Chains A and B, each alone.
Chain A
Amino acid sequence: MRDQKSDTTMKAQGRARKRNRIGVPLAALLTAGIGSASLSIVCFQTHMTHPGTFYILFGMIALSQLMPVDLTRGGVRVVFALPFIAALAVFFGPAAALAGDLAGQVVGALLSLRKGRDSEGAVRVLANMAISAISIWCGSGLMHMFQLGTVRQLLWGLGFIAGYGATNLLLITWLEARMNKRTWMRAELAALGLTVRSIALYALLCLAVTSLIAEKMWYLVPLSLIPVWALRTSLLYQTKLYENYYSTIGALNMMLQRAHPYTHGHLERVAETAEEVARRLGLGTQRARLVREAAILHDIGKIAVDEEILDKPSRLTNEELEHVRLHSTWGAEILSPVREFSAIVPWIRHHHERPDGGGYPDRLSNIEIPIESKIIAVVDAFDAMTGSEEGPHGKRTYREPMTIPQALTELDRCSGTQFDPDVVRAFRTVVEAEVA
């Protein structure tokens, strides 16, 4: 058992690493934030034409802080205050929008603190404030371009939203990726995937709020909380659906690891490399992500395989081999009830097919085997050959593990018969890049 002191030291080191990881970007963000805030105040005019509307918009921003949605467990939080901030920018100037946004952030931080939701409160609030200030500067710049042209006042807010929204999304996802050690692109896609339709509705809502104020119907602005609430509920459910998908993958993985503990690590390695190979082969980002998920689940059928056969350190009998070979069919059967896995079910069923037609379970010919199955086959075989996957007896198979060059040579030897030559070539490039 690991002693408590070393656990504490490890946690402290982890915290220190995290501080180092976000320290520099946070300092840069804060500097840029202060600069942007100053420019927003100095460069643009503030006009307090109708104080009543000003206070209503401030109130709406505060109320919207009561309805946040957490997009990821890592902490991207969406608050539906932008239409009101945009209205402040259009009718009272960017400095008023800045004041409204920052006041909203303070209210949100106080609420989070009360609910004990955020352990890194101060850092996150400071970062969010800086990001807001930069976003307001960008949004105001774009809005100013609309103002200089012949665009109607009603549409100025759209310019602000476009500038603000794009900057905000980029900076928030960048910071989240830095804090959670994810790639920026993945964090951005996760956020975008959930919000594309919401952004369109958001723009419409912004137009509606601006229209009401322009038409002197400011007293109707509080009604906009109804679509805000519905938008929030909708996003909340979409987030739950998204989380449910990944929880299912996680739970199935957990079941497999309970049945065969040695699979831990192997699946992650295979998944990461398979995604990279998919990219190299020109598959789109979305497709490559699916290949990653299929690679994580490719051996899920082994839940139903006798662990004593899988862990057997000697050669398997024909009967045992037949039993193990059923795992690809079982894997597809397990995943088939889940609609969201419909694309990856055939990839998993066919990840042991061979281009020469000698694979299983359906003895498909080269042209019939999905490219995704071919990718998983190569990456899985390489990981098995190099013996990275350890079992209860120290290693997975009765063979001695190969070195990386030996395994690559073996892949080349089987290229065209057991493995697809294009996939082997792409895989070699990925492995050589990793080794270099």
Chain B
Amino acid sequence: MGILTVIVLTLMTVATFWLLYHSRMILPRQLDERTLESVKAFGIAVELRFPSHQGLSKRVISLSGAVARHMGLSAEAKRDLELAGRLRDIGMCAVPYRLVNSLSPSEWNVADKARYMGHADVSGSMLEQIPELSRLASAVKYHHARFDGADDPSAPCGSKLPMSARILKVVADFVWYERIQGSLIAREILKAGRGTAYCPQAADALLTVLTSARVEQREPSLV
């Protein structure tokens, strides 16, 4: 075997190992990081538009991660749940500025409430147009849908709702009530809505993790 052949085959072997490492370890992590960076940018845009929403996402993501861990969801499902949690409100950019910043929810009429709740639909349809994130569209679109389907008979309900949408509904509502009415009342609302507004499995998981010290623990794969 000629020296040139030996050099070529050695180089190719080294290059193959490097390629395997690069394509299986480095690039997937890079893609995850870039996706998360983009999603953070969307979140900042919504929080700048509606300062009263600042911090909500962080709490929703932390709690939904804990619920997902408690329910034993796969790593991929947990990752998608975090992304859906961050993206769920990108449709808020279509909600009128003054509706949220100048009026309190108690001052809203039926049309105002419908305009506000329409953000979930807008978020879903925006994600449908982004091929890399379109898989999250239904979780985001139905993140305000009631478990029993009482609010919208045309929307899926019960087990037909994606699990991530059910978790987000439970967690996002809890975080909202926790902010405006306090933790105790928020827990009571959660218990009262178990099986009607909220998926029992997700509600139970949230009630359990709320007492756990691991709630604030971040998913290591997503750091």
Taken together as a complex, chains A and B put the C-alpha atoms of A406 and B48 apart, in Å, by 37
Residue of A nearest to B94 (CB): A258
Say how far A141's CB is from chain B's closest CB, in angstroms: 24
Taken together as a complex, chains A and B put the C-alpha atoms of A214 and B131 apart, in Å, by 45
A204 in the interface (beta carbon within 8 A): yes
User: B94 to A259, Cβ gap below 8 A?
Assistant: yes
User: A340 to B5, Cβ gap below 8 A?
Assistant: no
B157 in the interface (beta carbon within 8 A): no
B117 in the interface (beta carbon within 8 A): no
Question: What's the tally of chain A residues with a CB closer than 8 Å to chain B?
Answer: 53
A316 in the interface (beta carbon within 8 A): no
Q: Per-residue 0/1 for A295-323: is the Cβ within 8 Å of any B Cβ (1 yes, 0 no)?
A: 00000110111111000000000000000
Q: Which residues of B contact A305 (CB under 8 A)?
A: 97
Q: Which residues of B contact A377 (CB under 8 A)?
A: none
Given contact pairs A205-B12, A252-B41, A303-B45, A237 touches B23 in the complex (Cβ within 8 A): yes
Q: Which residues of B contact A338 (CB under 8 A)?
A: 34, 37-38, 40-41
Residue from B19, B96, B126, B132 in contact with A230 in the complex, judged by beta carbons closer than 8 Å: B19
Taken together as a complex, chains A and B put the C-alpha atoms of A406 and B43 apart, in Å, by 41
Taken together as a complex, chains A and B put the C-alpha atoms of A154 and B9 apart, in Å, by 12
User: A204 to B40, Cβ gap below 8 A?
Assistant: no
Given contact pairs A211-B5, A259-B49, A244 touches B90 in the complex (Cβ within 8 A): no
Taken together as a complex, chains A and B put the C-alpha atoms of A338 and B33 apart, in Å, by 9
Q: Which residues of A contact B42 (CB under 8 A)?
A: 251-252, 255
User: B19 to A231, Cβ gap below 8 A?
Assistant: yes
A207 in the interface (beta carbon within 8 A): yes
B98 in the interface (beta carbon within 8 A): yes
Say how far A391's CB is from chain B's closest CB, in angstroms: 15
Taken together as a complex, chains A and B put the C-alpha atoms of A336 and B27 apart, in Å, by 22
Question: What's the tally of chain B residues with a CB closer than 8 Å to chain A?
Answer: 47
Q: Which residues of B contact A154 (CB under 8 A)?
A: 2, 4-5, 8
B16 in the interface (beta carbon within 8 A): yes
Residue from B2, B19, B38, B97 in contact with A244 in the complex, judged by beta carbons closer than 8 Å: B38
Taken together as a complex, chains A and B put the C-alpha atoms of A243 and B37 apart, in Å, by 14
User: A237 to B28, Cβ gap below 8 A?
Assistant: yes
B122 in the interface (beta carbon within 8 A): yes
User: B48 to A244, Cβ gap below 8 A?
Assistant: no
Residue from B9, B19, B37, B96 in contact with A201 in the complex, judged by beta carbons closer than 8 Å: B19
User: B34 to A244, Cβ gap below 8 A?
Assistant: yes
Residue from B15, B33, B38 in contact with A251 in the complex, judged by beta carbons closer than 8 Å: B38
Q: Per-residue 0/1 for B95-128: is the Cβ within 8 Å of any A Cβ (1 yes, 0 no)?
A: 0111001000000000000000000001000100
Residue of B nearest to A255 (CB): B93
Taken together as a complex, chains A and B put the C-alpha atoms of A227 and B94 apart, in Å, by 48
Taken together as a complex, chains A and B put the C-alpha atoms of A425 and B174 apart, in Å, by 58
Q: Which residues of A contact B8 (CB under 8 A)?
A: 154, 204, 207-208, 211
B52 in the interface (beta carbon within 8 A): no
User: B15 to A255, Cβ gap below 8 A?
Assistant: no
Interface residues of A in 340-394 (CB under 8 A from B): 340-341
B181 in the interface (beta carbon within 8 A): no
B31 in the interface (beta carbon within 8 A): yes
A114 in the interface (beta carbon within 8 A): no
Taken together as a complex, chains A and B put the C-alpha atoms of A308 and B93 apart, in Å, by 14
Interface residue SS majority, chain B: helix
A339 in the interface (beta carbon within 8 A): yes
Residue from B22, B33, B48 in contact with A304 in the complex, judged by beta carbons closer than 8 Å: B48
User: A234 to B19, Cβ gap below 8 A?
Assistant: yes
Say how far A119's CB is from chain B's closest CB, in angstroms: 17
Q: Which residues of B contact A340 (CB under 8 A)?
A: 34, 37
Say how far A174's CB is from chain B's closest CB, in angstroms: 26
Residue from B22, B24, B30, B93 in contact with A259 in the complex, judged by beta carbons closer than 8 Å: B93
Interface residues of A in 202-253 (CB under 8 A from B): 204-205, 207-208, 211-212, 214-215, 226-227, 230-231, 233-234, 237-238, 240-241, 243-245, 247-248, 250-252
Residue from A227, A303, A306 in contact with B19 in the complex, judged by beta carbons closer than 8 Å: A227
Say how far A151's CB is from chain B's closest CB, in angstroms: 12
Residue from B23, B96, B97, B101 in contact with A234 in the complex, judged by beta carbons closer than 8 Å: B23
Q: Which residues of A contact B90 (CB under 8 A)?
A: 251, 255
User: A306 to B97, Cβ gap below 8 A?
Assistant: yes
Q: Which residues of A contact B15 (CB under 8 A)?
A: 201, 204, 227
Residue of A nearest to B96 (CB): A307
Residue from B11, B35, B48, B96 having most chain A Cβ neighbours under 10 A = B48
Say how far A401's CB is from chain B's closest CB, in angstroms: 26
Say how far B38's CB is from chain A's closest CB, in angstroms: 4
Q: Which residues of A contact B4 (CB under 8 A)?
A: 152, 154, 211
User: B44 to A333, Cβ gap below 8 A?
Assistant: yes
B192 in the interface (beta carbon within 8 A): no
Taken together as a complex, chains A and B put the C-alpha atoms of A208 and B15 apart, in Å, by 11
Q: Which residues of A contact B49 (CB under 8 A)?
A: 259, 303-304
Say how far B157's CB is from chain A's closest CB, in angstroms: 27
Taken together as a complex, chains A and B put the C-alpha atoms of A211 and B97 apart, in Å, by 67
Q: Which residues of B contact A241 (CB under 8 A)?
A: 27, 30-31, 34
Q: Which residues of A contact B (CB under 8 A)?
A: 73, 152, 154, 201, 204-205, 207-208, 211-212, 214-215, 226-227, 230-231, 233-234, 237-238, 240-241, 243-245, 247-248, 250-252, 254-256, 258-259, 300-301, 303-308, 330, 333-341
Give the 3 A-B CB pairs with smallest separation, nearest first: A237-B27, A304-B48, A230-B19
Given contacts A154-B4, A233-B27, 14 further A-B contacts (CB under 8 A): A211-B5, A230-B19, A230-B20, A231-B23, A234-B27, A237-B28, A247-B130, A250-B129, A251-B126, A255-B45, A303-B46, A303-B48, A304-B48, A334-B41
